[in-house]
């Protein structure tokens, strides 16, 4: 989630971009950054916020989803060339590796479920893009589970973009948010934070249960 302090710093920059470039240019910039940045281990969150700020929930969701599908696919195929090296790297963190390896076990449904839960869990998004290769998970359940597991993150990014837009407008006008805006954004932030926490806790428990079931069999 965005910190309020960070929001005041980032908001004017994103707002400037959203008002300086044309909408097609912003769509292309956001799509390209979201698609390519994860492959070089750079965060793409600011461009998700920009997409939400500029295009709202419907078109913002489509742009972010399209970009993320490529952003999660490229590392999967690139990482295939470094399978052994990634496997050795995972061995340095056996506890985390045990959860990651769940993605490569079982049938299509099992792999889909494990990947979706790992995407929802606090496991780093960029790291899992490459680490998944070491699990031998098939591409179809990998990308399907990844897309399903990042839906909440996508809507959270769009909401963050809309919140930043409110902050940017207040900053550009040299004023503060109105009482109604503060209440509305406060309620929205609380709901988003609570939902994220609940989903994360559920994912961690579900992963532990999935791991226990695999150990039994």
Q: Residue 27: which pLDDT band, with cuts at 50, 70 and 90?
A: very high
- In contact, 75 and 129? CB cutoff 8 Å: yes
Cα distance between residue 100 and residue 95, in whole Å? 9
Domain count for the chain? 1
Tokens matching residue 112: 């889909």
State the pLDDT at residue 175: 60
Tens digit of each residue's pLDDT (9 = 90 or more) over 40-78: 999 899 899 999 888 988 999 999 999 999 999 999 999
**pTM for the complete prediction?**
0.78
What does the pLDDT read at residue 86?
A: 74
Tell me the CA distances in angstroms from 91 to 105, 119, 126, 132, 166, one per residue in order: 17, 20, 18, 13, 45
- Structural domain harbouring 50: 4-216
pLDDT in tens, 142-200: 999 999 999 988 988 898 888 877 777 766 665 666 666 667 667 776 776 777 677 77
Q: Which residues contact 9 (CB under 8 A, 6 or more apart)?
A: none
pLDDT attached to residue 4: 44
The pLDDT of residue 73: 95
């Amino acid at each position: 989630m965005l910190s309020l302090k960070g929001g005041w710093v980032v908001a004017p920059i994103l707002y400037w971009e959203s008002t300086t470039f044309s909408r097609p240019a912003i769509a292309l910039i956001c799509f390209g950054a979201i698609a390519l940045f994860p492959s070089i281990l750079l965060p793409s969150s600011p461009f998700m916020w920009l997409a939400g700020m500029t295009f709202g929930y419907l078109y913002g969701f489509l742009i972010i989803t399209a970009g993320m599908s490529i952003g999660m696919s490229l590392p999967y195929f690139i990482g295939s060339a470094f399978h052994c090296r990634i496997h050795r790297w995972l061995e340095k963190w056996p506890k985390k590796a045990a959860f990651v390896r769940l993605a490569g076990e079982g049938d299509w449904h099992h792999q889909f479920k494990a990947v979706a839960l790992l995407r929802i869990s606090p496991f780093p998004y960029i790291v899992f893009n490459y680490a998944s290769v070491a699990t031998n998970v098939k591409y179809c359940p990998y990308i399907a589970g990844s897309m399903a597991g990042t839906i909440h993150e996508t809507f959270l990014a769009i909401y963050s973009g809309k919140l930043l837009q409110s902050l940017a407008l207040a900053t550009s006008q040299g004023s503060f948010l109105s009482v109604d805006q503060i209440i509305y954004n406060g309620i929205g932030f609380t709901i988003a934070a609570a939902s994220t926490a609940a989903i994360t806790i559920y994912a961690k428990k579900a992963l532990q249960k999935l791991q226990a079931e695999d150990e039994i069999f």
